[in-house]
Structure 1
Amino acid sequence: MHTRERSLAGQVAIVTGAGSGIGRATALAFAGAGAHVLGVGRREEPLKETAAAGENIEVLAVDIRAEGAPEAIVETAVRRWGRLDHLVNNAGATAVMPLAETDARVIHDLLALNVVAPSLLAHAALPHLRATSGTIVNLSSTYGHRPMAGGAHYSASKAAVEQLTRSWALELAGEGVRVNSVAPGPTRTDVMLHAGLSPEAANDMYAYERERIPTHHIAGAEEVAHWILRMAEPAGRHATGQVVTVDGGLELV
């Protein structure tokens, strides 16, 4: 996906979870806007596919939850391009887990990936973002601010992301660092498969959600990436602490 203007020319962005779905689309969107992009993910081959799909994208295969990973990721980008302007905390996981089936490991893993890792990445990136008056865009979910039966812990992790976004925005506004969140609704990616659903079950869920969404449309990853880029662009410099919900009106029903 390419913008008509190279609004981020010469700038540098880190995008986590860049090997597929919204992360890949976001890496391509930022590169299309002129940014140098470091795409981060656990699997090297999908990352290479992302890099091959666009210009100005380099990749780093690492588990962002690993000890020292946040610092290594930021250092890689700064060493390569000499600055850092944008951090997109996209990597995350979902889990279908009713209360009766609560599993401690699932809870710990969700919080480690959805809350702790983005926090430590933002911490590592902060000195560089201060220097460039940069931005952080955190990925939430429509279920970060509406209930999800059978997915309470996932919803809670995304509610935490939204509060981190607002609190960091307030904390950093005086230093020129903007922090916003994009909250997608159901989006056609492979996240449901990684959550353990079969392709058939995932399709059934999309069909169910499509009927509930007022626009009767399941978003594509590029449609979400559009809004992530918008929140990072200089034209959006007066927006901070916002959660932009991109769900076809699902949060309204």
Structure 2
Amino acid sequence: MSSLKDKVVIVTGGSSGIGRATAIALVAQGASVLITGRREAPLQEVRAAYPSIATIVADVSLPADASRTVTAAIEQFGRLDVLVNNAGAGAIMPLAEATADRISEIFAVNVLGPSLLASAALPHLRQTKGAIINISSTFGHKAGAGLSHYAASKAALEHLTRCWALELAPDGIRVNAVAAGPTESGALTGMMGLSEEQAKAVMQAERERIPLGRRGVPDDVAHWISVFADPASEWVTGQVIAIDGGLAVS
């Protein structure tokens, strides 16, 4: 029997890519999962395919939605064991093209949102001695031209992970991060705003740079999120694990 049976998990950005794969993996292991997303239609597609996954329309960059999301999980399931801060924002944005609004948007999703959600979840995670899992990127610790503000936001999230791990250890709450490498999740044409042609060129360049010779798939990352969510990992906290085919060390 899985040690995730009857655990309750919130996964932000759960309607596609890594978030969707994570929700499916956790439900398969017996967890109850609430996923968030900014648009109703993709959430309902997940719900139609996996009726046991609960959904809520919420934007992690909006402060009011943090407490609303946690409240929804408590009202539906009665407890909270794991928060997965997966929703992300980014852009290929050279410094010369940076604007205050775009920088603020990236940090609102990647830093402010996870912080407010973690704060709102704290009283419930203390009761269950639960876990927080932040989803970072290889570029949270590896430099990338044109990715400075996205990378800086992920670097901030990784350091928040380490700081929260120290702060929350006395409460029995574990805090870890999974730094995902280039993954077949649609982020290049979605979050990063590239054309199909530009995305294909970037993907080919990434395959050539990744030591294991391929881009990841969402399940590659979801597996390690599940590992950190599992109470069997109770002696692991403050860690950032790179799941990127070796890109971080190339």
User: Which bracket does the TM-score occupy, shorter chain normalised?
Assistant: over 0.9
Code of the residue aligned with 1:237 in structure 2: it is E
- 1:157 counterpart residue number: 153
d(CA) in 2 for partners of 1:38 and 1:237?
22
1:219 aligns with 216
**Contiguous gaps of at least 5 residues in structure 2:** none
Q: Structure 1: any 5+ residue segments left out of the alignment? A: none
| Structure 2 residue 131 is matched with structure 1 residue 132 | no
Rounded Cα–Cα distance in structure 2 between residues aligned with 1:113 and 1:231: 22
Deviating 4+ runs (over 6 angstroms): none
Deviation at 1:201, TM superposition (A): 1.2
Alpha-carbon offset, residue 52 of structure 1: 2.6
Contact 1:140–1:161 under 8 Å retained in 2 = yes
Query: How far is the alpha carbon of 1:225 from its aligned partner?
Result: 0.4
- 1:8-41 CA distance string (max 9 Å, x none): 1111000000111001001111111111100101
The aligned amino acid for 2:246 is G
TM-score normalised by structure 2 residue count: 0.97
For 1:181, what is the secondary structure of its paired residue? strand
Is 2:176 the partner of 1:180? yes
| 1:23 counterpart letter in structure 2 | G
| Alignment partner, residue 75 of structure 2 | 79
Q: Does 1:199 align with 2:202?
A: no
CA RMSD of aligned residues (A): 1.0
Give aligned pairs, total: 249
Whole-angstrom CA distance in 1 between matches of 2:61 and 2:156: 17
Render the CA deviation track for 1:45-82: whole Å, top value 9, x for unaligned.
11112223335211001212224110000000001111
Query: Could you state the TM-score of these two structures normalised by the residue count of structure 1?
Result: 0.96
Matches within 5 A, 1:43-122: 43-122=39-118
Alpha-carbon distance in structure 1 between the residues aligned to 2:134 and 2:202: 25
Match of 1:247 in 2: 244
Matched, 1:28 2:24: yes
Q: Tell me how far apart the structure 1 counterparts of residues 14 and 205 of structure 2 sit (CA, whole Å).
A: 27
Q: Is the partner of 2:212 in helix, strand or coil? A: coil
Instruction: Report the CA distance shift for 1:7/1:51 in structure 2 as closer, same or farther (over 3 A).
Output: farther
Bigger mean CA deviation after superposition, 193-202 or 223-232: 193-202
In structure 1, C-alpha distance between the alignment counterparts of 2:25 and 2:51, rounded to whole Å: 10
